[in-house]
A and B are shown apart, each in its own frame.
Chain A
Amino acid sequence: MKNPDREWLKKRLMNAAIIILAAFSLLLLRFVYLQIVEGDEYRRLSENNCIRLQSVPAPRGMIYDRNGTLLVDNIPSFDLKMVLQDAEPVDETIGKLAEFTEIALEELMERVDAGKKVSIYKPVVLKKNITRDQLAVVEAHGFDLPGVRVEIEPMRNYIYKKSAAHLIGYLGEVNSQEIENNIYPDVKSGDSIGRYGAERAFEHILHGKRGGKQIEVDASGRLVRVINTVEPIPGKNIFLTIDATLQQKTESIMEGQTGAVVAIDPSNGDVLAMVSSPSFDLNDFIGGISSEKWKALMSDPGKPMSNKAIQGEYPPASTYKIVTSIAALEEGASDIHTTYFCPGYYKYGNRTYRCWKKWGHGRVNIVSALEKSCDVYFYRSGEALGVDTLAKYANGCGLGKLTHIELANERSGLIPTAAWKKRRFGSSWQGGETLSIAIGQGFNLVTPLQMAMFIAAVGNNGTIYRPKILKFTQDYNGSLESRLETKNEILGGLPASKQTLKLVKEGLLNVVESEGGTAKRIRIEGIDIAGKTGTAQVFSLKKSDRDSNRKFDRHLRDHAWFVCYAPAQNPVIAVSVIIEHGEHGSTAAAPVASEVLRTWLQIKGMLPGVKGKTM
Chain B
Amino acid sequence: MWVFFVFDRRLIENFDWGLMLITCLIGMVGLCVLYSAVNAGEPGGPMHLLFQKQMIWIAGSFAIVLLSLSIPYKLFDRGSFVAYIICVGLLVAVLLFGKYVAGSRRWLALGPLTMQPSELMKLSLIFVLASAYSGIISESGLAFKYLIKPALLLFFPFILIILQPDLGTALLLLFIATSMTLFVKVKRSVFFSCLIVAISAVPLAWMFVLKEYQKGRVLTFLDPDRDPLGSGYHIIQSKIAIGSGMLSGKGFLKGTQNALAFLPEHHTDFILSVLAEEWGLIGCCVLLFLYFMLLLWGLNIAYCCRDMFGSILAFGITIMIFWQIFINVGMVMGLMPVVGVPLPLISYGGSSVVTNMIGIGVLLNISMRRFVVV
CA distance A17 to B281 in the complex (A): 23
Whether B292 contacts A21 by the Cβ 8 Å rule is yes
CA distance A34 to B240 in the complex (A): 9
Interface string of A1-41 (1 = CB under 8 A from B): 11111101110110011001101101110111011101111
Whether B239 contacts A230 by the Cβ 8 Å rule is no
Q: How far is the CB of B301 from chain A (nearest CB, A)?
A: 10
CA distance A8 to B280 in the complex (A): 41
B361 within 8 A of A: no
Whether B137 contacts A46 by the Cβ 8 Å rule is no
Whether A45 contacts B244 by the Cβ 8 Å rule is yes
B296 within 8 A of A: yes
From B47-55, B78-86, B230-238, give the one contacting chain A: B230-238
CA distance A193 to B246 in the complex (A): 47
A214 within 8 A of B: yes
Q: How far is the CB of B370 from chain A (nearest CB, A)?
A: 13
Name the B residues within 8 Å of A40 (CB-CB): 246
B262 within 8 A of A: yes
From A47-55, A515-523, A553-561, give the one contacting chain B: A47-55
A43 within 8 A of B: yes
Closest to B302 in A: A13
B242 within 8 A of A: yes
Closest to B228 in A: A228
- B232, B242, B302: the one contacting A228 at CB < 8 Å is B232
Most B CB within 10 A of own CB, among A4, A28, A35: A35
Name the B residues within 8 Å of A36 (CB-CB): 246-247, 281
Most A CB within 10 A of own CB, among B237, B239, B243: B243
Whether A46 contacts B256 by the Cβ 8 Å rule is yes
Closest to A211 in B: B229
Closest to A121 in B: B260
Whether B228 contacts A43 by the Cβ 8 Å rule is no
Given A3-B139, A32-B281, A49-B256: A41 and B243 interface contact (C-beta under 8 Å): yes
Whether B322 contacts A23 by the Cβ 8 Å rule is yes
Q: How far is the CB of A44 from chain B (nearest CB, A)?
A: 8
A100 within 8 A of B: no
Whether B281 contacts A24 by the Cβ 8 Å rule is no
CA distance A27 to B311 in the complex (A): 27
Count of A-B residue pairs with CB < 8 Å: 138
A224 within 8 A of B: no
Closest to A49 in B: B260
Given A2-B140, A42-B243, A212-B228: A35 and B260 interface contact (C-beta under 8 Å): no
Given A23-B322, A39-B243: A230 and B296 interface contact (C-beta under 8 Å): no
Interface string of B238-281 (1 = CB under 8 A from A): 01111111110000000011001010000000000000110011
CA distance A184 to B257 in the complex (A): 32
Whether A27 contacts B139 by the Cβ 8 Å rule is no
Whether A4 contacts B237 by the Cβ 8 Å rule is no
Name the B residues within 8 Å of A4 (CB-CB): 137-139, 308
From B66-74, B160-168, B329-337, B349-357, give the one contacting chain A: B329-337
B25 within 8 A of A: no
A227 within 8 A of B: yes
Name the B residues within 8 Å of A49 (CB-CB): 256-257, 260, 262
Whether A20 contacts B292 by the Cβ 8 Å rule is yes
Name the A residues within 8 Å of B313 (CB-CB): none
**Tier of interface size on chain A:** 35 or more
- B239, B292, B299, B308: the one contacting A24 at CB < 8 Å is B292
Q: How far is the CB of A207 from chain B (nearest CB, A)?
A: 17
Given A3-B138, A8-B139, A35-B242: A214 and B233 interface contact (C-beta under 8 Å): yes
Total interface residues on B, using CB and 8 Å? 51
Whether B326 contacts A230 by the Cβ 8 Å rule is no
CA distance A26 to B256 in the complex (A): 27
Whether A34 contacts B239 by the Cβ 8 Å rule is yes
Name the A residues within 8 Å of B225 (CB-CB): 228
B284 within 8 A of A: yes
CA distance A4 to B184 in the complex (A): 10
Whether B240 contacts A46 by the Cβ 8 Å rule is yes
Q: How far is the CB of A257 from chain B (nearest CB, A)?
A: 51
Whether A45 contacts B276 by the Cβ 8 Å rule is no
Whether A28 contacts B288 by the Cβ 8 Å rule is yes
Name the A residues within 8 Å of B140 (CB-CB): 1-2
Interface string of B25-47 (1 = CB under 8 A from A): 00000000000000000000000
Whether A23 contacts B326 by the Cβ 8 Å rule is yes
Name the B residues within 8 Å of A214 (CB-CB): 228-229, 232-233, 236
Given A3-B139, A24-B292: A230 and B242 interface contact (C-beta under 8 Å): no
- B242, B257, B262: the one contacting A34 at CB < 8 Å is B242
CA distance A53 to B262 in the complex (A): 11
Name the A residues within 8 Å of B233 (CB-CB): 51, 53, 214
Whether A27 contacts B315 by the Cβ 8 Å rule is no
CA distance A261 to B289 in the complex (A): 81
For chain A residues 240-279, which have a beta carbon within 8 Å of chain B? none
Q: How far is the CB of A221 from chain B (nearest CB, A)?
A: 14
Given A35-B276, A36-B247: A42 and B239 interface contact (C-beta under 8 Å): yes
- A2, A8, A16, A38: the one contacting B299 at CB < 8 Å is A16
CA distance A46 to B242 in the complex (A): 10
B210 within 8 A of A: no
Q: How far is the CB of A391 from chain B (nearest CB, A)?
A: 44
Name the B residues within 8 Å of A16 (CB-CB): 183, 299, 315, 319
CA distance A299 to B314 in the complex (A): 78
Closest to A21 in B: B292
Whether B232 contacts A17 by the Cβ 8 Å rule is no
Whether B330 contacts A51 by the Cβ 8 Å rule is no
CA distance A148 to B240 in the complex (A): 26
Q: How far is the CB of B131 from chain A (nearest CB, A)?
A: 16
Q: How far is the CB of A20 from chain B (nearest CB, A)?
A: 5
CA distance A16 to B311 in the complex (A): 13
Closest to A56 in B: B229
Interface string of A132-166 (1 = CB under 8 A from B): 00000000000000000000000000000000000
Name the B residues within 8 Å of A30 (CB-CB): 330, 333, 335
B64 within 8 A of A: no
Closest to A45 in B: B240
B62 within 8 A of A: no
Closest to B143 in A: A1
Q: How far is the CB of A117 from chain B (nearest CB, A)?
A: 14
CA distance A309 to B260 in the complex (A): 55
- A8, A21, A43: the one contacting B243 at CB < 8 Å is A43
CA distance A3 to B322 in the complex (A): 27
Given A1-B138, A34-B333, A46-B257: A17 and B245 interface contact (C-beta under 8 Å): no
CA distance A23 to B243 in the complex (A): 20
Closest to A39 in B: B246
For chain B residues 188-244, which have a beta carbon within 8 Å of chain A? 225, 227-229, 232-233, 236-237, 239-244
Name the B residues within 8 Å of A35 (CB-CB): 242-243, 245-247, 276, 280-281, 284
CA distance A6 to B241 in the complex (A): 46
Q: How far is the CB of B261 from chain A (nearest CB, A)?
A: 8
Q: How far is the CB of B29 from chain A (nearest CB, A)?
A: 15
CA distance A10 to B315 in the complex (A): 12
Name the A residues within 8 Å of B240 (CB-CB): 42, 45-46, 51
20 A/B residue pairs, CB under 8 Å, sorted by A = A5-B139, A16-B183, A16-B299, A17-B296, A20-B296, A20-B322, A24-B291, A27-B288, A28-B288, A35-B246, A39-B244, A41-B243, A43-B243, A43-B246, A46-B256, A49-B256, A51-B236, A51-B262, A227-B236, A230-B229
**Contact residues of A with B, CB < 8 Å?**
1-6, 8-10, 12-13, 16-17, 20-21, 23-24, 26-28, 30-32, 34-36, 38-43, 45-47, 49, 51, 53, 121, 212, 214, 227-230
A6-B303, A28-B288, A30-B335 are known; give 20 further A-B pairs, CB within 8 A. A3-B137, A5-B139, A9-B302, A9-B311, A12-B183, A12-B185, A13-B315, A17-B299, A20-B322, A23-B326, A24-B292, A28-B285, A30-B330, A31-B288, A35-B247, A39-B243, A45-B243, A47-B244, A51-B233, A228-B225
6 closest cross-chain pairs (CB), A and B: A42-B243, A46-B244, A228-B228, A39-B246, A212-B229, A34-B243
